Amino acid sequence: MIKQPTPAEQMLAEDTFSFCMEHLQEHFTIPFLAARSDVSPTKLKQVYRRVFGISLFAHIRNEKMHFAAQELASTNTRVIDIAEACGYDNASKFSAAFRDVMGCTPVEYRNRVRSE
């Protein structure tokens, strides 16, 4: 039987997620995020997965790529500038992450959305 998160665990996971989303351009380590909440790294990882059903970094990456997709679809902002807004200083790493999550490159996505 899967253990349901307590209200405190739910709050811990949601607070960690909110903090990461408010700082999209930054990269955080699990130990930093755990210390910020005064829990062990193992506890943070376990609680986060129990609350959201996905690892912390996979969840944050997915959210960053969905933010990037929204920017690609609704603005003329350069891909590299969107990548930087998501915390990537390397366009090829951003493109690979975007492809993993969205199924196509950022340029392909923008072209497809705009042709619809």
pLDDT at 116: 82
User: How many other C-beta atoms lie within 10 A of the C-beta of residue 91?
Assistant: 15
pLDDT at 1: 64
Contact (Cβ atoms closer than 8 angstroms) between residue 45 and residue 59:
no
Mean pLDDT score of the chain: 94
pLDDT digits (tens, 9 = 90+) for 14-59: 999 999 999 989 989 999 999 999 999 999 999 999 999 999 999 9
Please, what are the domains in the chain?
7-59 (1.10.10), 61-115 (1.10.10.60)
User: pTM of the prediction?
Assistant: 0.87
pLDDT at 94: 97
Residues contacting 87, CB < 8 A, separation 6+: 24, 25, 26, 27, 64
pLDDT at 54: 96
pLDDT digits (tens, 9 = 90+) for 73-110: 999 999 999 999 999 999 999 999 999 999 999 999 99
